[in-house]
Chain A
Amino acid sequence: MQPPPEVVHWLFSTGFILLGLFLVCEVAVGPEVWRKRAWRAYLWPGFLFGMGMFMWAVSVFFTTSTVHMIAHGIWAQAMMFAGACLLGLARGKLRSPLWTLTVAAAFLVSGSATLLHESQGWLFSRSSFLHHLEGWAAIGAAVFPIGLSFLPRSRFFSLGLAAVFFFIAVLLLCHRDIAAIFGHISPEARVAK
């Protein structure tokens, strides 16, 4: 009953699309209107926390390699910690916008985990290529939450963060278990039958 890895990537992509949509709308209407209903303030921090929880399931059920398990476990902790800090900020328990730096830390940990658990250099393989792209995108994206921690109302950094979520979602949707991406370059890259 375990889902194929490609399906897991697709399901996670829906979470990233929603994170991006939440941010775009929050920037469009401004934080005052966005927080008019209390539940909306918790939407994207809650989703980040929830996605971290689902990452534990990936760590527990996909046990083909130790590196995979450890990477996803650390990744889950980083996402849940960042989500929890943002929930604290939304609730008012935490006050300093510098807590947004935990999102930057989550991006750095996520990017490193993505690169480490798919570290082989066969970039003509779809899975390897996409994981490298996702990993470096996540590491580069850390600049946006860093910017937001110093300029919390910056539209540039908020929309930049939303764009990164959309980009990662597209990459996750491109995952396929057997379809080659650059199969014409090397016979070692398997072609889908």
Chain B
Amino acid sequence: MAARIDRIVPAVARRSRRGLVVAGVGPLTSLAGLAWAFVQPWRITFLHPYGKGGFWYLLGEPPLLVILVGILFHWFVALPLLEDLAGEEDA
């Protein structure tokens, strides 16, 4: 998969603004979540000093959810879309 990213993302993103947008929105979303985690670390509940909640608070950690959404979107939607975009622009 890493080779796939190296092959597709830089090529399409360099060639067109459309590719740059598609390649960028997922990582940008994850970066926003990461920045949020640093600004408000108390929103990551597993860092709570006395423990909080249980299963649901371990599942629902807002900044981590945002990071996860960005990664999943990039992996499962953006990369196949970039492949199609590269094919379209080559044709």
Contact = CB atoms under 8 A, between A and B. Distances in A.
B56 A7 contact: yes
Nearest to B21: A28
A14 B81 contact: no
Give the interface size class of chain A. Answer: 20 to 34
B60 interface: yes
A37 B21 contact: no
B66 A33 contact: no
Interface in A79-95: none
Interface string A1-14: 10110110011011
A4 B85 contact: no
Interface string A22-50: 10110011101110110010010000000
Contacts, number: 72
Q: Is the interface of B mostly helix, strand, loop or mixed?
A: helix
B88 A17 contact: no
A173 interface: yes
A7 B59 contact: yes
A21 B73 contact: yes
A17 B66 contact: yes
Interface of A: prevailing SS? helix
A10 B65 CA distance: 8
A25 B57 contact: no
Nearest to A172: B62
A99 to B, nearest CB: 24
Interface of A: 1, 3-4, 6-7, 10-11, 13-14, 17-18, 21-22, 24-25, 28-30, 32-34, 36-37, 40, 43, 173
Interface of B: 18, 21-22, 25-26, 29, 53, 55-57, 59-60, 62, 65-66, 68-69, 73, 77-78, 80-81, 84-85, 87-88
25 contacts: A7-B57, A7-B59, A7-B60, A10-B62, A10-B65, A11-B65, A13-B62, A14-B66, A14-B68, A14-B69, A21-B73, A21-B77, A22-B77, A24-B21, A25-B22, A25-B81, A29-B85, A30-B18, A33-B81, A33-B84, A36-B84, A36-B87, A37-B80, A40-B77, A173-B65
